[in-house]
Amino acid sequence: MPIHKSDEYDKVVNSLDELLCEKVCQSLVNRLSTQYLGQIVQILINLEHFEIACQELEQLLVAARSNASAGGAIVLKATEDFRNSKKTAEKRIFELVNSKIDDLIGTAEYDWLVIINATSREELLRPDEVHISDTHLRTASGLETEPSSYMQTLTRYLSNIMNTVLLGLPTEIKELIYFDALSHAATMILSLPLSSDVKCINPNGVAALSQDVQYLTEFVETLNNPILRENLDELRQTVSLMQAESSDEFYDVATRNKKYGRVDAMNGPMLLEKSDSLPRLLSSEAEKPLTVHRLTHTVHIPAKTDKLTALSSRFGMKS
């Protein structure tokens, strides 16, 4: 039914807009502080529905306006509020997922360097004698055949949330969440050998890391999305560099562009230096008794740039 009095019409529009903004939208936003991913996903879905409802309400309000009233489109502030709150909810989902990833990767245990008491310089430096025992270093020949438990748990977690908690979200949103999660995971895994606590890196640690990265790569390949696999390029190439027989490959421009094009120009030399430091360390320490040192690490969360805006267009999302 048309509303003939302009002041009454404006009062109705303003009251509806205020109600939607302050009572509905803000109430949903306040609930985003929860730690339960499923609740935040449902809030995001609700915000999407309310945004669409507000757009339809704008059309109804135009139809309810009398011909004598001033013309023009009706734009509710609530429509924009719901739209912006959707972005807040999406960001909150990213935060919770990445926080879980941080927790899992924080349990990673790579023996970058384990030094055990040696009885002589010759015993310490004989590579064929270095294996798992009470008196030797362990090399890659003693590597476990299974990926690390944290890596298995990580891939299981990502698979589970996509097939359960995030199932009701639009495909483009799910893909963006997956992209961000894998990007964050790759960054955090790479930060392990880059940690300032890691002074030297032995082949066994690199081999264990390589096995885990391969397991993660195979998991991503099952998702049948080439864009997601690109997230692991830097991580895979960096691990490959750490396993290279000669560090000269990295400093040869042609070879580097072909095999290590995604390796960070600062990280590559740093990791090569850590790998090359082990023989020097063994040589300098071989003349004195060595005590057991099992390296533990602290995971540092590196500064992260906002990739999501740039990536949204690749998934067909509107800003």
Q: Measuring CA to CA, how many Å separate 136 from each of 113, 124, 133?
A: 12, 7, 6
The answer to whether residue 79 scores a pLDDT higher than 80 is yes
> Is residue 241 a contact partner of residue 260, using CB atoms and an 8 Å limit?
yes
* C-alpha distance across the termini of the chain, in Å: 36
**C-alpha dihedral sign at 159, 164, 169, 171:** positive
> Is residue 178 a contact partner of residue 162, using CB atoms and an 8 Å limit?
yes
**pTM for the model:** 0.77
Q: Could you tell me which residues come within 8 angstroms of residue 249 by beta carbon, excluding any fewer than 6 positions away? A: 241, 255, 256, 259, 260
Q: Measuring CA to CA, how many Å separate 306 from each of 59, 135, 200, 266?
A: 36, 48, 32, 21
- The mean pLDDT value for 111-118 works out to 59
Percent of the chain whose predicted confidence (pLDDT) is above 70 = 73
Which amino acid does the sequence have at 306? D
The answer to whether residue 69 scores a pLDDT higher than 70 is no
The answer to whether residue 20 scores a pLDDT higher than 50 is yes
| Mean pLDDT value across the chain | 81
- The mean pLDDT value for 163-173 works out to 91
